[in-house]
Homo-oligomer: A and B are copies of this chain.
């Protein structure tokens, strides 16, 4: 965080870290449009609105919405889906240990706090996000299983980070899987997200090296007037069954409880476990399938996501219902039947994905699909039982391929003055 800017630059006459904030104005958040964006709770959402009357007041809630850094749970878990996302995993550099990791998490936390508030970084900011508002930027930090041995923190490693079981349909590339450290970046502006990604990479410095990096996207705010859940690149409404923060057991299912942790693992209180899967969609095959067959694979109508047994997207599917031919209306291998919580002992996870599209593969097929990210208090009561069942008999499995996988412990949000992971690293 040293100031490498040249003395010639007029930029230096501004207080470090204040330039973008000053440019945008700092009007109060009350009643700002950002609050209406449908936050699903948990993360605090405020908004800074341009009110200085200079220039065209074109900063809408898209740019003005600010997500808080110091909150109970890290941002980027219950924050509404952003239109742009980056995932990046690092391995600690050879020779780097707990000391270097601690300094890195301090630097990353500083960067996250500054950028999420729409501020520039002192001195060496790339300026890619200059002129833009915070744009709902979130940075979310997690630790992979391998982090703990390398930092002498083996006793603090939660059993929830034990490797995921192998699934028979996995085609995992280890070079794009796991990692010591993981950062999820989301924003409603692509340049704001890219700016944060480069800052995270830069701060890694000599302490950590990039292991893999992926880019994703979701629908833009304001592109739809529909109250329905968003769609994926197969055209399916995706995410209907997600637990809702208003449900009484939401916190219990998604976040690690504040108390009752095994000794040494109190640091995960308020945290959550992220399972990350790069799921390629075999779109050339899928799109050739007639719509009725697609709907049978999913068990839902393509048009509106309603169960094939009727109603609308949010109607409970009637899994026992048979048609005139005596066959189940929602087939035994339909994706929505197999993944339903009631079929999995109530297993629940909060899915918060990004779509991805990396152009065309060497074989001519689209390299596109879902950066599936799900959040849960315990992967063994969330992702694992559901994926086990899908692995055995999901009609959708012919059209998708799990190509990479990661499991990360994402600690609770840092208190005022704290950095992310402080309770682990200094615990």
Show the binding face of A for B, using Cβ within 8 Å: 4-11, 19, 23-24, 50, 55-63, 83-84, 124-128, 130-133, 135, 188-192, 194, 198, 202, 209-210, 212-215, 217-228, 231, 233-236, 283, 287, 290-293, 295, 301-303, 355, 357-360, 364, 366, 368
Pair A188/B295 contact, Cβ less than 8 Å: no
What distance in Å separates the Cβ of A86 from its nearest Cβ neighbour in chain B?
9
What distance in Å separates the Cβ of A306 from its nearest Cβ neighbour in chain B?
9
Pair B355/A221 contact, Cβ less than 8 Å: no
A174 to B364, CA, bound (A): 17
What distance in Å separates the Cβ of A140 from its nearest Cβ neighbour in chain B?
19
Most buried by B among A220, A228, A364: A220
Pair A6/B213 contact, Cβ less than 8 Å: no
Pair B214/A190 contact, Cβ less than 8 Å: no
Pair A220/B291 contact, Cβ less than 8 Å: no
Look across to chain B and name the residue whose beta carbon is closest to the beta carbon of A209.
B364
> Oligomeric state, in number of copies?
2
Pair A128/B235 contact, Cβ less than 8 Å: yes
Pair B63/A360 contact, Cβ less than 8 Å: no
Pair B61/A5 contact, Cβ less than 8 Å: no
Q: For residue A188, which residues in chain B have a CB less than 8 angstroms away from its CB?
A: 220, 223
Pair A233/B189 contact, Cβ less than 8 Å: no
Q: Assuming A4-B290, A60-B60, A287-B198, is B355 touching A191 (CB within 8 A)?
A: yes
Q: For residue A358, which residues in chain B have a CB less than 8 angstroms away from its CB?
A: 215, 358-359
Look across to chain B and name the residue whose beta carbon is closest to the beta carbon of A222.
B60
Q: Assuming A213-B360, A214-B359, A360-B213, is B220 touching A220 (CB within 8 A)?
A: yes
In the A-B complex, list the 7 residue pairs whose CB atoms are closest, starting with the nearest.
A6-B292, A60-B222, A59-B225, A127-B235, A62-B222, A189-B223, A131-B226
Pair A231/B127 contact, Cβ less than 8 Å: yes
Q: For residue A213, which residues in chain B have a CB less than 8 angstroms away from its CB?
A: 359-360
Q: For residue A355, which residues in chain B have a CB less than 8 angstroms away from its CB?
A: 190-191, 194
Pair B291/A191 contact, Cβ less than 8 Å: no
Contact of A132 among B9, B224, B301 (CB under 8 A): B224
Pair A231/B6 contact, Cβ less than 8 Å: no
Q: For residue A11, which residues in chain B have a CB less than 8 angstroms away from its CB?
A: 291, 302-303
Q: For residue A189, which residues in chain B have a CB less than 8 angstroms away from its CB?
A: 83, 219-220, 223
A426 to B224, CA, bound (A): 39
Pair B135/A58 contact, Cβ less than 8 Å: no
Q: For residue A359, which residues in chain B have a CB less than 8 angstroms away from its CB?
A: 213-215, 358
A223 to B220, CA, bound (A): 12
A227 to B364, CA, bound (A): 42
A56 to B56, CA, bound (A): 27
